[in-house]
Amino acid sequence: MNDTSEMVEIADEDRMRADLYDFLGLLLARPPSQTVLTQTATLSGDDTALGQSISGLARVAHVTKPAAAEREFNALFIGLGRGELLPYASYYLTGFLNEKPLAQLRSDMAARGITRAPNVYEPEDNIASLMEMMGGMIAGRFGQPAGLATQQEFWNRHIGPWAAHFFADLEAAKNSVFYASVGAIGRNYMEIEKEGFRMAAA
């Protein structure tokens, strides 16, 4: 996604939320480089389910080579004709690609001034782009940081209905090794976000 503003000041908790969305988006957009793997191997988590999944990813990253990660990424998301998983909201919600969820997302993106980067050809409703959009909205990369109500509306429309299911599928996919831990992080994080939005709305 194209950024339209400089980094702005937001609460530390929101910065961490945005960073985790961005991290998931980075890992799901393309195979990790050696630099990304090295940095990921230094992460440490706490005793929570999310923290344990982050520690698990760090351990796997430590022993993963870029070529192996690329083979895994291709088997999961590209494949011969198609990968093991189709990481698109339209597919998860309707069973088909380029359906109504994509049209709704494009409408919401236009309303928020979010545009697709010119070198990106994937439909916008892929999981990597949605993670990046959510991180950007929280951090204020597409204008002013989105308020909690706006974040919740976007999440409920475009991420909440399917992302946890996708991450669980990624965690369990037969080709997942490195990405099984990415799936665990995503699944746990989506549960935290769901509960956080629920409590904020109560």
* CA proximity to 17, closest of 159, 116, 123: 159
Name all domains of the chain by residue range, CATH numbers in brackets. 12-28+67-201 (1.10.3480.10)
Query: 126 - beta bridge partners?
Result: 88
Dig out the tokens for 95 from the structure.
Answer: 């069973």
Residue 153 φ/ψ, nearest 5 degrees: -60, -45
Confidence of residue 5 (pLDDT cuts 50, 70, 90): very low
Q: How high is the pLDDT of residue 1?
A: 64
Confidence of residue 4 (pLDDT cuts 50, 70, 90): very low
Evaluate whether 1 touches 115 at the Cβ level (below 8 Å): yes
* CA proximity to 89, closest of 157, 15, 7: 157
Q: What is the pLDDT of residues 86-133, one digit of tens each?
A: 999 999 999 999 999 999 999 999 999 999 888 878 899 999 999 999
Q: How high is the pLDDT of residue 44?
A: 96
3-state percent helix, strand, coil for the chain, nearest multiple of 5: 65, 0, 35
Q: What is the pLDDT of residues 10-63, one digit of tens each?
A: 999 999 999 999 999 999 999 999 999 999 999 999 999 999 999 999 999 999
Q: Is 81 exposed, middle or buried, given 0-12, 13-18 or 19+ CB atoms closer than 10 A? A: exposed
Q: How high is the pLDDT of residue 46?
A: 96
The amino acid that residue 154 corresponds to is: F
